[in-house]
């Protein structure tokens, strides 16, 4: 005989049952804050706000606070040290100018840190972008575009989706909706 056909190969219903049992064992999305959104100044809040609203669309709870690498260094470092133990799973940090905030947070935690360079008054955010994106090897900061707070939140959701399957479904729906909208757009 050319081919060996296994006596009990999986049927569609076996596969569906397996998928169902995997889903039922899946980690449910907790109601505690999973993402910490930090920013260096109250003047960053408007730019950082889309991170909060995007997470809310996905049903992900977050904290939203001002902590500065320069003006409140001890508090910022303590936040990073304690975040993991408090159940935070991803940190998003926005800062402008000499934008050290995501870097010093990343130095103090092994949680993923996503940096949002804020458009600055003097150099249009190029200073913020370069301060964040040029982290020396060993301590990464996942830097998004200047003022890219919404993308920072989407990246956080993608990271969380590795653990919470509910977010995988929401992300697929989000992408499909975006595709439909683009294809329907009248120009």
What is the contact mask toward ligand RP5 in residues 60 to 99, using x (rule: CB under 6 A)?
--------x-x------------------------xxx--
C-alpha span between 152 and 123 (Å, rounded): 22
Number of amino acids touching ligand RP5 (CB under 6 A): 10
Cβ atoms of 97 and 44 closer than 8 Å:
no
Binds ligand RP5 by CB under 6 A, chosen from 34, 37, 38, 44 = 44
Closest CB 93 distance from ligand RP5, rounded Å: 9
Beta bridge partners of 62: 35
* The three-state (H, E, C) secondary structure of 63-85, written as one string: EEEECCCCCCHHHHHHHHHHHHH
Closest CB 62 distance from ligand RP5, rounded Å: 18
Closer Cβ to ligand RP5, 118 or 157, answer by number: 118
Place of tokens 């993923």: 112
Closest CB 185 distance from ligand RP5, rounded Å: 34
Contacts of ligand RP5 in 24-43 (CB under 6 A): 40-41, 43
Residue 117 binds ligand RP5 (CB under 6 A): no
Beta bridge partners of 96: 118
DSSP states along 8-40 = TPPPHHHHHHHHHHHHHTSPPPPSS--EEEEES
Closest CB 118 distance from ligand RP5, rounded Å: 4
Contacts of ligand RP5 in 126-165 (CB under 6 A): none
Query: Mutual orientation of helices 149-161 and 165-184 as an angle, nearest 10°?
Result: 140
In the complex, the residues that contact ligand RP5 under the rule CB under 6 A are 40-41, 43-44, 68, 70, 95-97, 118
């Amino acid at each position: 005989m050319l081919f060996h056909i296994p006596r009990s190969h999986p049927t569609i219903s076996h596969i569906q049952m397996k998928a169902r049992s995997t889903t039922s064992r899946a980690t449910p999305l907790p109601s505690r804050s999973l993402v910490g959104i930090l920013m260096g100044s109250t003047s960053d809040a408007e730019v950082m706000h889309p991170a909060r609203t995007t997470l809310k669309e996905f049903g992900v709870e977050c904290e939203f606070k001002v902590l500065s690498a320069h003006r409140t260094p001890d508090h910022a470092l303590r936040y990073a040290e304690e975040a993991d133990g408090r159940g935070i799973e991803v940190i998003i940090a926005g800062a402008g100018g000499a934008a050290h905030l995501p870097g010093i947070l990343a130095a103090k935690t092994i949680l993923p840190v996503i940096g949002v360079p804020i458009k600055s008054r003097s150099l249009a955010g190029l200073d913020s972008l370069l301060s964040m994106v040029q982290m020396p090897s060993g301590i990464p900061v996942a830097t998004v575009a200047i003022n890219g707070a919404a993308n920072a939140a989407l990246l956080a959701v993608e990271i969380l989706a590795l653990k919470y399957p509910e977010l995988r479904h929401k992300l697929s729906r989000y992408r499909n909706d975006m595709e439909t909208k683009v294809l329907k757009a009248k120009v």
